[in-house]
Amino acid sequence: MALDIVIMAAGKGTRMKSARPKVLHRLAGRSLLQHVLQTASTLGADRIVTITGHGADEVESSVSAPNLQFVRQMPQLGTGHAVQQAAPLLHDDGTTLILNGDVPLIEAATARALIESCDGGKLALLTIRLADPSGYGRVLRGDPAGRDANEGGRVRGIVEHKDATPVQRMVDEVYTGMMAAPTAALKGWLARLTNENAQGEFYLTDIVAMAVADGVPVVATHPASETEVLGVNSPSQLADLERRFQRTQAESLMEAGLRLADPARFDLRGELVCANDVEIDVNCVFEGRVTLGEGVRIGANCVLRNAAIAAGAVIHPFTHIDGETLGVKVGAGAAVGPFARLRPGADLGEQVHIGNFVEVKNSTLAKGAKANHLAYLGDATVGERVNYGAGSITANYDGANKHRTVIGRDVHVGSNCVLVAPVTLGDGATIGAGSTISKDAPAGQLTVARAKQVSLPGWTRPKK
């Protein structure tokens, strides 16, 4: 049988106080909707139908998933009306799983359990008991009025908070907005929905009573944790969910051996792979894919994105490493920072030292090379044991094209030098401080390119 997944993502998100559609607000570096789509894509669905509305063009151009299609809900007349828009795209001979685009942390295992509970012939609801159920639809069990709802019994219906009686509002089992239903029956129930309620909307939850009346079993499954089913309606809720998610990631990494100075001050917005004895100080952010070799130490307030850090390397505080699509590599035993910047294509060999306020871009530094202070290396090939002086730069851009600088082994570049690419410094060359080098420097020789120093006797400063 076919499996279709419907994701509701049409809402405006008024309480977010933002021009951005609610489902595009970011959690751990990805939009809320992309989190849901990535989970959905692991379930083997024949079709994923995402319902858009507010900011539909922006939403549809911002997310992706296999077998993804979009339908639009214009205007937004309730959850039932939303699913009605998707109904023509659903296979009759299968199961439809309904998820919410603003509930980003639903686990694949929970979604699979919901599908299995449906079993092609039941209406399966994802429910949970909350200490404060305010705002949620209440699950009614026992008699149709829900008077014995907390005393067990079969599910008889769901009543939205605004339509619930004072007795029904005392129920603490709530509907999370996610369900699985036999698709043929779902289409029939959707066609029978009305908007006779406090909000004048077509409620998807009304199909529960229809299922009961039609003799279709209604069952409830439950998530492993509350965090899975929490939605985002405000900046405060988004921040709370971010911390919950980051704490979960931190706990998982620490169980595998990572040492975090403070798991409450750790942010992972991608994939982090750690070997043994890795230590990470506070306020570090990891994006894209980052690998840390054995014994790596990351100082406080660092940002690493798309980088591979080899065993024993130390990244000192306030260092920014961003590999973008090219990546960054830091060799074994290297030291980077503090306040250093590694840009795409930076490839540091073993025991390389990159110091404070040094920037490296699209450059390879061989074993033992050092640039310890206030320097720039762009589009350069640097040999072993080079000492690159403070304030020195490679002038790699002529206004139209980039050019490469080649620095041989054991070269010493003095302070405040400009290497005008394309240029080659031979092995063992020494470049005098303050030189502007625009021609190749011979191996083993001192090269100096600066004006002769003069002193003018009798000269006085101008006076006011």
Q: Which of 161, 222, 373, 412 is catalytic?
A: 373
CA distance 210 to 197: 16
Taking alpha carbons only, the member of 419, 464, 455 closest to residue 439 is 419
- List Cβ neighbours of 424 (8 Å cut-off, separation of 6 or more): 405, 406, 407, 408, 440, 441
Per the CB < 8 A criterion, the answer to whether 426 and 439 are in contact is no
Q: Residue 403 catalytic?
A: no
Which amino acid belongs to residue 272?
L
3-state SS, 381-446, equals: EECCCCEECCCCEEECECCCCECCEEECCCCEECCCCEEECCEEECCCCEECCCCEECCCECCCCE
Task: Give the separation between CA 434 and CA 448, rounded to whole angstroms.
Answer: 8
Per the CB < 8 A criterion, the answer to whether 266 and 260 are in contact is yes
Residues 329/311, Cβ–Cβ less than 8 Å: no
List Cα–Cα distances, 122 to 95, 125, 157, 174, 297, in angstroms: 10, 10, 14, 19, 53
Residue 378 near residue 407 (C-beta atoms within 8 A): no
Query: Among candidates 321, 371, 328, which has minimal Cα distance to 347?
Result: 328
Pairing state between β 328-330 and 303-309: parallel
Q: Would you name the residues annotated as active-site residues?
A: 373
